[in-house]
Structure 1
Protein backbone atom coordinates (compact mmCIF):
# COMPACT_ATOMS: atom_id res chain seq x y z
CA UNK A 1 0.00 0.00 0.00
CA UNK A 2 1.19 3.51 -0.74
CA UNK A 3 2.43 5.61 2.14
CA UNK A 4 0.07 8.39 3.21
CA UNK A 5 1.79 11.56 4.37
CA UNK A 6 -0.12 14.03 6.56
CA UNK A 7 1.13 17.63 6.22
CA UNK A 8 -0.08 20.82 7.89
CA UNK A 9 -1.57 23.38 5.49
CA UNK A 10 -0.02 26.87 5.49
CA UNK A 11 -0.88 30.12 3.72
CA UNK A 12 1.26 29.14 0.72
CA UNK A 13 -1.22 26.25 0.16
CA UNK A 14 -4.31 28.45 -0.42
CA UNK A 15 -4.74 27.46 -4.08
CA UNK A 16 -4.35 23.72 -3.41
CA UNK A 17 -6.79 23.90 -0.48
CA UNK A 18 -9.34 25.79 -2.60
CA UNK A 19 -8.99 23.21 -5.37
CA UNK A 20 -9.27 20.08 -3.23
CA UNK A 21 -12.01 21.66 -1.11
CA UNK A 22 -14.22 22.35 -4.12
CA UNK A 23 -13.38 19.06 -5.86
CA UNK A 24 -14.06 16.78 -2.89
CA UNK A 25 -17.24 18.61 -1.84
CA UNK A 26 -18.55 18.40 -5.39
CA UNK A 27 -17.57 14.69 -5.61
CA UNK A 28 -19.28 13.92 -2.32
CA UNK A 29 -22.50 15.92 -2.64
CA UNK A 30 -22.85 17.08 -6.25
CA UNK A 31 -25.06 14.24 -7.46
CA UNK A 32 -27.68 14.70 -4.70
CA UNK A 33 -27.90 18.49 -4.81
CA UNK A 34 -29.00 21.17 -7.24
CA UNK A 35 -26.13 22.67 -9.28
CA UNK A 36 -27.25 26.20 -8.36
CA UNK A 37 -27.12 25.53 -4.59
CA UNK A 38 -23.78 23.73 -5.00
CA UNK A 39 -22.25 26.60 -6.97
CA UNK A 40 -23.45 29.17 -4.44
CA UNK A 41 -22.02 27.13 -1.54
CA UNK A 42 -18.69 26.37 -3.25
CA UNK A 43 -18.11 29.99 -4.31
CA UNK A 44 -18.77 31.24 -0.78
CA UNK A 45 -17.05 28.49 1.22
CA UNK A 46 -13.95 28.18 -0.91
CA UNK A 47 -13.30 31.79 -1.91
CA UNK A 48 -9.66 32.89 -1.52
CA UNK A 49 -10.63 35.19 1.38
CA UNK A 50 -12.52 32.45 3.24
CA UNK A 51 -9.75 29.88 2.73
CA UNK A 52 -7.06 32.40 3.84
CA UNK A 53 -9.14 33.19 6.94
CA UNK A 54 -9.51 29.47 7.79
CA UNK A 55 -5.79 28.75 7.39
CA UNK A 56 -4.90 31.83 9.51
CA UNK A 57 -7.34 30.97 12.33
CA UNK A 58 -5.33 30.02 15.44
CA UNK A 59 -8.24 27.86 16.66
CA UNK A 60 -8.31 25.74 13.50
CA UNK A 61 -5.82 23.33 11.97
CA UNK A 62 -5.93 21.98 8.42
CA UNK A 63 -3.94 19.03 7.07
CA UNK A 64 -3.45 17.54 3.62
CA UNK A 65 -3.18 13.81 3.03
CA UNK A 66 -0.64 13.15 0.28
CA UNK A 67 0.42 10.08 -1.65
CA UNK A 68 3.60 10.53 -3.71
CA UNK A 69 3.34 14.30 -3.12
CA UNK A 70 -0.17 14.35 -4.66
CA UNK A 71 -2.85 15.87 -2.40
CA UNK A 72 -5.59 13.22 -2.10
CA UNK A 73 -7.60 14.46 0.88
CA UNK A 74 -7.75 16.92 3.76
CA UNK A 75 -8.81 17.40 7.35
CA UNK A 76 -10.04 20.52 9.17
CA UNK A 77 -10.40 20.59 12.95
CA UNK A 78 -11.62 23.44 15.17
CA UNK A 79 -11.17 24.38 18.83
CA UNK A 80 -12.78 26.85 21.22
CA UNK A 81 -14.62 29.73 19.50
CA UNK A 82 -13.83 28.43 16.00
CA UNK A 83 -16.11 25.43 16.47
CA UNK A 84 -19.20 25.80 14.31
CA UNK A 85 -21.67 24.92 17.08
CA UNK A 86 -20.81 23.81 20.60
CA UNK A 87 -17.77 26.04 21.23
CA UNK A 88 -16.83 23.78 24.14
CA UNK A 89 -13.22 24.30 25.34
CA UNK A 90 -13.14 20.58 26.24
CA UNK A 91 -13.94 19.48 22.69
CA UNK A 92 -12.44 19.28 19.23
CA UNK A 93 -14.70 19.57 16.20
CA UNK A 94 -13.88 17.64 13.06
CA UNK A 95 -15.36 20.05 10.54
CA UNK A 96 -14.11 18.33 7.40
CA UNK A 97 -12.58 15.05 6.32
CA UNK A 98 -12.69 14.75 2.55
CA UNK A 99 -10.93 12.40 0.14
CA UNK A 100 -10.74 12.58 -3.66
CA UNK A 101 -13.18 10.08 -5.19
CA UNK A 102 -10.55 7.84 -6.83
CA UNK A 103 -8.83 7.43 -3.46
CA UNK A 104 -11.88 6.42 -1.40
CA UNK A 105 -11.46 3.04 0.29
CA UNK A 106 -7.67 3.42 0.58
CA UNK A 107 -7.67 4.25 4.31
CA UNK A 108 -6.95 7.95 3.71
CA UNK A 109 -10.05 9.08 5.60
CA UNK A 110 -9.04 6.79 8.47
CA UNK A 111 -5.53 8.34 8.56
CA UNK A 112 -6.99 11.86 8.63
CA UNK A 113 -9.46 10.78 11.31
CA UNK A 114 -6.59 9.27 13.37
CA UNK A 115 -4.73 12.59 13.08
CA UNK A 116 -7.77 14.45 14.46
CA UNK A 117 -8.09 12.03 17.40
CA UNK A 118 -4.36 12.33 18.15
CA UNK A 119 -4.61 16.14 18.18
CA UNK A 120 -7.55 15.94 20.62
CA UNK A 121 -5.63 13.52 22.86
CA UNK A 122 -2.47 15.70 22.80
CA UNK A 123 -4.62 18.64 23.90
CA UNK A 124 -6.17 16.40 26.58
CA UNK A 125 -9.69 17.19 25.36
CA UNK A 126 -12.71 15.31 26.66
CA UNK A 127 -14.45 14.52 23.38
CA UNK A 128 -14.55 14.96 19.63
CA UNK A 129 -17.72 15.93 17.76
CA UNK A 130 -18.84 16.56 14.19
CA UNK A 131 -21.84 17.13 11.97
CA UNK A 132 -22.62 14.80 9.07
CA UNK A 133 -25.36 15.14 6.45
CA UNK A 134 -28.24 12.78 7.31
CA UNK A 135 -28.13 11.38 3.75
CA UNK A 136 -24.38 10.64 3.81
CA UNK A 137 -24.75 7.06 5.03
CA UNK A 138 -21.17 6.15 4.11
CA UNK A 139 -19.80 8.83 6.47
CA UNK A 140 -22.29 7.97 9.23
CA UNK A 141 -21.21 4.30 9.10
CA UNK A 142 -17.53 5.36 9.16
CA UNK A 143 -18.02 7.43 12.33
CA UNK A 144 -20.19 4.79 14.03
CA UNK A 145 -17.51 2.20 13.28
CA UNK A 146 -15.04 4.55 14.99
CA UNK A 147 -17.16 4.77 18.14
CA UNK A 148 -19.20 7.94 17.57
CA UNK A 149 -22.77 8.22 18.82
CA UNK A 150 -25.55 10.50 17.56
CA UNK A 151 -26.54 13.21 20.04
CA UNK A 152 -28.39 15.97 18.16
CA UNK A 153 -29.17 17.54 14.79
CA UNK A 154 -28.71 20.96 13.23
CA UNK A 155 -29.51 22.71 9.99
CA UNK A 156 -26.76 23.08 7.40
CA UNK A 157 -27.25 25.76 4.77
CA UNK A 158 -26.02 24.54 1.39
CA UNK A 159 -26.11 27.74 -0.65
CA UNK A 160 -29.72 28.45 0.36
CA UNK A 161 -30.90 24.83 0.61
CA UNK A 162 -31.58 23.95 4.27
CA UNK A 163 -30.43 20.41 5.09
CA UNK A 164 -30.22 18.38 8.28
CA UNK A 165 -26.89 17.31 9.72
CA UNK A 166 -26.66 14.68 12.42
CA UNK A 167 -24.34 15.70 15.24
CA UNK A 168 -22.16 12.88 16.56
CA UNK A 169 -19.62 12.70 19.36
CA UNK A 170 -17.02 10.37 20.79
CA UNK A 171 -15.70 10.61 24.34
CA UNK A 172 -11.95 10.24 24.75
CA UNK A 173 -12.16 10.44 28.55
CA UNK A 174 -14.90 10.94 31.11
Structure 2
Protein backbone atom coordinates (compact mmCIF):
# COMPACT_ATOMS: atom_id res chain seq x y z
CA UNK A 1 0.00 0.00 0.00
CA UNK A 2 1.25 3.47 -0.84
CA UNK A 3 0.27 6.46 1.22
CA UNK A 4 0.46 10.15 0.50
CA UNK A 5 2.76 12.15 2.77
CA UNK A 6 1.58 15.57 3.93
CA UNK A 7 3.46 18.07 6.08
CA UNK A 8 1.47 18.83 9.24
CA UNK A 9 0.38 22.37 10.05
CA UNK A 10 -1.04 23.82 13.29
CA UNK A 11 -4.51 23.15 11.85
CA UNK A 12 -3.70 19.43 12.10
CA UNK A 13 -2.95 19.40 15.83
CA UNK A 14 -6.16 17.63 16.89
CA UNK A 15 -5.60 14.82 14.38
CA UNK A 16 -1.93 14.63 15.40
CA UNK A 17 -2.94 14.35 19.03
CA UNK A 18 -5.47 11.61 18.30
CA UNK A 19 -2.97 9.52 16.31
CA UNK A 20 -0.24 10.06 18.92
CA UNK A 21 -2.42 8.94 21.81
CA UNK A 22 -3.92 5.96 19.96
CA UNK A 23 -0.64 4.57 18.63
CA UNK A 24 1.30 5.07 21.85
CA UNK A 25 -1.43 3.43 23.94
CA UNK A 26 -1.69 0.55 21.44
CA UNK A 27 2.05 -0.12 21.59
CA UNK A 28 2.79 0.53 25.27
CA UNK A 29 -0.53 0.45 27.14
CA UNK A 30 -0.49 -3.23 28.09
CA UNK A 31 2.97 -3.02 29.68
CA UNK A 32 2.49 0.12 31.77
CA UNK A 33 0.15 1.03 34.59
CA UNK A 34 -2.96 2.95 33.59
CA UNK A 35 -1.83 5.88 35.76
CA UNK A 36 1.65 6.04 34.17
CA UNK A 37 0.19 5.76 30.68
CA UNK A 38 -2.44 8.44 31.30
CA UNK A 39 0.14 10.86 32.73
CA UNK A 40 2.48 10.32 29.78
CA UNK A 41 -0.29 10.78 27.22
CA UNK A 42 -1.53 13.93 28.95
CA UNK A 43 1.96 15.44 29.32
CA UNK A 44 3.42 14.49 25.94
CA UNK A 45 0.46 14.66 23.61
CA UNK A 46 -1.55 17.65 24.75
CA UNK A 47 -2.32 20.26 22.10
CA UNK A 48 -0.04 22.95 23.56
CA UNK A 49 2.95 20.57 23.68
CA UNK A 50 2.40 19.32 20.14
CA UNK A 51 1.98 22.87 18.80
CA UNK A 52 5.19 23.94 20.55
CA UNK A 53 7.08 21.01 18.99
CA UNK A 54 5.50 21.66 15.60
CA UNK A 55 6.66 25.27 15.58
CA UNK A 56 10.34 24.42 16.01
CA UNK A 57 12.26 25.28 12.81
CA UNK A 58 14.35 22.10 13.06
CA UNK A 59 11.46 19.68 13.70
CA UNK A 60 8.88 18.39 11.28
CA UNK A 61 5.72 16.33 11.59
CA UNK A 62 4.33 14.67 8.45
CA UNK A 63 1.19 12.58 8.14
CA UNK A 64 0.87 9.57 5.91
CA UNK A 65 -2.60 9.42 4.38
CA UNK A 66 -4.41 6.43 2.88
CA UNK A 67 -7.49 7.36 0.89
CA UNK A 68 -7.34 10.81 2.52
CA UNK A 69 -7.46 9.22 6.00
CA UNK A 70 -4.59 9.78 8.46
CA UNK A 71 -2.87 6.42 8.89
CA UNK A 72 0.12 7.62 10.91
CA UNK A 73 2.96 10.10 10.99
CA UNK A 74 6.67 10.67 11.31
CA UNK A 75 8.38 13.25 13.53
CA UNK A 76 11.88 14.33 12.48
CA UNK A 77 14.39 16.46 14.41
CA UNK A 78 17.79 17.84 13.45
CA UNK A 79 20.22 20.33 14.93
CA UNK A 80 19.27 21.56 18.41
CA UNK A 81 15.84 19.89 18.57
CA UNK A 82 17.21 16.34 18.64
CA UNK A 83 16.06 14.66 21.85
CA UNK A 84 19.68 13.70 22.61
CA UNK A 85 22.94 15.30 21.54
CA UNK A 86 24.03 13.44 18.44
CA UNK A 87 25.72 16.28 16.56
CA UNK A 88 24.65 18.62 13.79
CA UNK A 89 25.26 16.04 11.07
CA UNK A 90 22.42 13.80 12.22
CA UNK A 91 18.67 13.54 11.72
CA UNK A 92 16.58 11.98 14.47
CA UNK A 93 13.50 9.95 13.69
CA UNK A 94 11.75 10.65 16.98
CA UNK A 95 8.54 8.86 16.00
CA UNK A 96 7.15 6.67 13.29
CA UNK A 97 3.61 6.04 14.48
CA UNK A 98 1.19 3.94 12.43
CA UNK A 99 -2.39 3.35 13.58
CA UNK A 100 -3.09 -0.35 14.32
CA UNK A 101 -5.43 -0.86 11.37
CA UNK A 102 -2.71 0.35 8.96
CA UNK A 103 0.24 -1.62 10.35
CA UNK A 104 2.16 -4.11 8.19
CA UNK A 105 1.18 -2.43 4.95
CA UNK A 106 4.51 -0.78 4.11
CA UNK A 107 3.64 2.66 5.46
CA UNK A 108 6.40 2.67 8.08
CA UNK A 109 8.93 1.89 5.38
CA UNK A 110 7.56 4.73 3.28
CA UNK A 111 7.92 7.15 6.21
CA UNK A 112 11.44 5.86 6.82
CA UNK A 113 12.34 6.55 3.17
CA UNK A 114 10.85 10.02 3.53
CA UNK A 115 13.18 10.59 6.51
CA UNK A 116 16.18 9.45 4.46
CA UNK A 117 15.24 11.90 1.70
CA UNK A 118 14.91 14.72 4.26
CA UNK A 119 18.34 13.90 5.73
CA UNK A 120 19.86 13.87 2.25
CA UNK A 121 18.22 17.20 1.37
CA UNK A 122 19.72 18.67 4.56
CA UNK A 123 23.08 17.05 3.67
CA UNK A 124 23.21 15.13 6.94
CA UNK A 125 25.50 12.14 7.40
CA UNK A 126 23.37 9.82 9.54
CA UNK A 127 19.93 9.02 10.89
CA UNK A 128 19.36 7.86 14.45
CA UNK A 129 16.48 6.91 16.73
CA UNK A 130 15.60 5.38 20.07
CA UNK A 131 13.55 2.19 20.25
CA UNK A 132 12.24 0.48 23.38
CA UNK A 133 14.31 -2.59 24.21
CA UNK A 134 11.17 -4.77 24.31
CA UNK A 135 9.74 -3.56 21.00
CA UNK A 136 11.28 -6.38 18.99
CA UNK A 137 9.12 -5.84 15.90
CA UNK A 138 10.37 -2.25 15.58
CA UNK A 139 13.94 -3.38 16.22
CA UNK A 140 13.68 -5.95 13.42
CA UNK A 141 12.26 -3.32 11.08
CA UNK A 142 15.12 -0.90 11.77
CA UNK A 143 17.72 -3.65 11.53
CA UNK A 144 16.31 -4.53 8.09
CA UNK A 145 16.70 -0.84 7.15
CA UNK A 146 20.40 -1.01 8.06
CA UNK A 147 20.46 0.52 11.55
CA UNK A 148 23.06 -0.56 14.12
CA UNK A 149 22.92 -0.22 17.89
CA UNK A 150 25.26 2.51 19.18
CA UNK A 151 24.07 2.93 22.77
CA UNK A 152 21.08 3.24 25.03
CA UNK A 153 19.27 5.66 27.33
CA UNK A 154 16.57 5.72 29.99
CA UNK A 155 13.06 6.61 28.89
CA UNK A 156 10.94 7.77 31.82
CA UNK A 157 7.27 6.82 31.52
CA UNK A 158 5.56 8.00 34.69
CA UNK A 159 7.12 6.09 37.57
CA UNK A 160 8.64 3.49 35.23
CA UNK A 161 12.21 3.76 33.99
CA UNK A 162 12.53 1.97 30.67
CA UNK A 163 15.52 1.33 28.42
CA UNK A 164 15.63 2.49 24.83
CA UNK A 165 18.28 1.30 22.41
CA UNK A 166 19.89 4.03 20.32
CA UNK A 167 20.19 2.91 16.69
CA UNK A 168 22.00 4.72 13.90
CA UNK A 169 22.43 4.40 10.16
CA UNK A 170 25.18 6.19 8.28
CA UNK A 171 24.02 7.69 4.99
CA UNK A 172 27.27 8.88 3.42
Compute the TM-score of the two structures, normalised by the length of structure 1: 0.97
Name the counterpart of 1:133: 132
Q: Distance in 1 between matches of 2:148 and 2:170?
A: 9
Q: Check if 1:66 corresponds to 2:65.
A: yes
| Secondary structure in 2 matching 1:105 | coil
How big is the alpha-carbon RMSD for the aligned residues of Structure 1 and Structure 2?
0.8
Name the counterpart of 1:30: 29
Q: What does 1:68-107 align with in structure 2 at a 5 Å threshold?
A: 68-107=67-106
Q: Distance in 1 between matches of 2:135 and 2:86?
A: 24
Give yes or no for contact 1:22–1:42 (8 Å, CA) kept in 2. Answer: yes
Q: Deviations over 1:72-120 (max 9, x none)?
A: 1100000111000024110000000010111111001111111011100
| Secondary structure in 1 matching 2:155 | strand
Q: Mark the runs of 5 or more structure 1 residues left unpaired by the alignment.
A: none
Q: Distance in 2 between matches of 1:158 and 1:82?
A: 20
Name the counterpart of 1:146: 145
Residues paired across the two proteins, number: 172
| Secondary structure in 1 matching 2:150 | strand
| Secondary structure in 2 matching 1:88 | coil
Compute the TM-score of the two structures, normalised by the length of structure 2: 0.98
Name the counterpart of 2:14: 15
Name the counterpart of 1:159: 158
Q: Deviations over 1:106-154 (max 9, x none)?
A: 0011111110111001111010000000000000000000000001000
Give yes or no for contact 1:81–1:87 (8 Å, CA) kept in 2. Answer: no
Distance 1:169 1:87, change over 3 A: closer
C-alpha displacement of 1:160: 2.6
